[in-house]
Amino acid sequence: MVTLEGKPTLYLIIYVIVGILHIFIPVWGVVIDEPFNIATFYWYWGFVFQSVDGDINTGTIGNEDILFAGRTAMIMMIICFIILLITFILARALDIFKTEKNLSLFGVLWLIIGILLLIAPSIYVAEVRDVIFDDYSWGVGIYFSYALAVVPLLLGILILYMKSKGQKIGT
């Protein structure tokens, strides 16, 4: 029997909060020291922060395609995190882990959510790839997106694998 020790509901709530908050971390940017002190950062939702020799400019990115791709990725991620939270709380409330009734359904759903969480930032990366590799570099936000996708992906795989082997899963 495989057990998920601790407080899985609390861990998932923290995971979802971190997942939604990660959207406020810059996805890509650039810092140039020569000949001017320039720092420019971009977020999924289109916000741009630029500092040139102490003068600060903010706004939204001018490229509509990048803006649309970023907002699409952000909305997909938020929806996935909310669905993940709702399904996990529902699974806990219905004692799915104890009875294992419909556990495979939840495993498949979490696997799909993990795949969607991998696709969402990839939509954005595909749109900005021509722009970003000239002078810019990826920020923490893009790596965070992919790292957060691994949790439901592995959870879904673990549940489906254990169910296929006939092993019990408990919390």
Strand 28-32 to 55-60 pairing = unpaired
Q: Tell me: the pLDDT tens digits for 106-163?
A: 788 889 999 999 999 999 888 887 776 666 778 888 888 899 999 889 888 888 888 7
CA distances from 2 to 102, 137, 151, 169 (A): 17, 41, 17, 5
What are the b/e assignments for 13-41, b being 16+ CB within 10 Å? eebbeebbebbebbbbbbeeeeeeeeebb
Q: Identify the three-state secondary structure at position 47.
A: strand
Q: What's the pLDDT band for 76 if we cut at 50, 70, 90?
A: very high
Q: What's the pLDDT band for 2 if we cut at 50, 70, 90?
A: very low
Cβ neighbours of residue 63 closer than 8 Å, sequence gap 6 or more: 131
Residues in the chain: 171
Q: Which element (helix H / strand E) includes 74?
A: helix 64-93
- Provide the whole-model pTM: 0.80
Taking 70 as the threshold, does the pLDDT of residue 40 lie above it? yes
Give the position of tokens 């998920």.
4
Q: How far apart are CA 126 and CA 123, in angstroms?
A: 5
Q: With pLDDT > 70 as the criterion, what percentage of the chain qualifies?
A: 84
